[in-house]
Each structure stands twice: as C-alpha cells, then as structure tokens.
A = this chain, B = another copy of it.
Amino acid sequence: MNDTLDALDQLILKELTRDARLGWSELAARAGVSAPTVRDRVRRLEDTGLIQGFVAELSPRALGYGLEAIVRFKPFPGKVHILADRIIATDRIVQCDKVTGEDAFVARMLLRDIAELDGLLEPFTAHASTQTAIVKSSPVPMRPPPLIE
C-alpha cells in the first residue's frame, strides 16, 4: 500500500499541503536536496496515489454562500439509489458520505441564505426524510491526515 514515508517525503508532503504551488527549486531548498530529487519524490508520491491531486481551495463565503448546512438523509424504502443520484446531481452539495445507520447519507450543502433551505431540500422530499443542522463555525476546517507509515 505504501512503502513508508521517510523524512524527505514527510517534509515534501507537509510543504505541499500548505502550498501546492511551491516550485521545485524552492521545495528543494527547504528540504536541503536538489530540485530533481524533490521532483522525483513528488512524482512517485503521485504515482502511488498518496498524493491524489493539487487543488485550489475556494471560499464559499467569498462566492456568496453565507451559510453551510449539514443535512442527514434517511431514505424511504426502495429510494436509496435515486436519492444518491439526486444528491450527486445537486451541485450545492459539496460533500456527501454514505454511512451506516438509519441516516444513510450525510451531506454538506451551501446556501446563499436561510431562505434557500426549503427550496433546496424540496426535490428530496419524495425520496427521504431529512434532518438539517446549520454550521455555526468550523473548529477544524478540512486538514490533512496525520502522516503515518
């Protein structure tokens, strides 16, 4: 699965999870090795799938989404599949997991304001009951997994 991360790999991952646009030479300087070396390491980390990709993170608030909600969906009998399809097709849902238990899906939904909530959930009323919680703050904004071997 993963051939143990040495100190260099760990340093590279730490830097790239902070700033994915760091150049090879800057990364090399911080790591105390040559540019071709870090480039090689990163390519290997990508090839093994440990680095899944490099992405820009956008601010929902700056985009006009004033609210986030956590919505739990409890599917009606026989509706699990169509519910999943609807969730995937709803682009205001920016994250969703299928989980054990009665509330089969847990989703994160973006709202311009609270007035939008009813309308956004309406398409799901035929397929599931929902429970909604409004996000008041995010004590742990998405952060990288601890690096273990």
Could you list which residues of chain A lie within 8 angstroms of chain B, going by C-beta atoms? 1-2, 13, 16-21, 48-65, 68, 70, 84, 87-88, 91-101, 103, 105-107, 110, 112, 133-149
Chain B residues, CB < 8 A from A16: 55-56
Chain B residues, CB < 8 A from A91: 146
Known: A1-B61, A1-B64, A96-B138. 9 other contacts (CB 8 A): A2-B63, A13-B56, A21-B21, A49-B62, A52-B57, A55-B144, A84-B139, A107-B140, A142-B142
Contact of A140 among B17, B52, B87, B142 (CB under 8 A): B87
Whether A51 lies near B56 (C-beta < 8 A) is yes
Whether B106 lies near A133 (C-beta < 8 A) is yes
Chain B residues, CB < 8 A from A1: 61-62, 64
Q: Could you tell me the distance in whole angstroms from the C-beta of A129 to the nearest C-beta in chain B?
A: 15
Whether B97 lies near A70 (C-beta < 8 A) is yes
Q: Could you tell me the distance in whole angstroms from the C-beta of A55 to the nearest C-beta in chain B?
A: 5
A134 with B100, Cβ < 8 A, contacts A49-B62, A50-B58, A149-B64 known: yes
A136 and B87 alpha carbons, distance in the complex (Å): 16
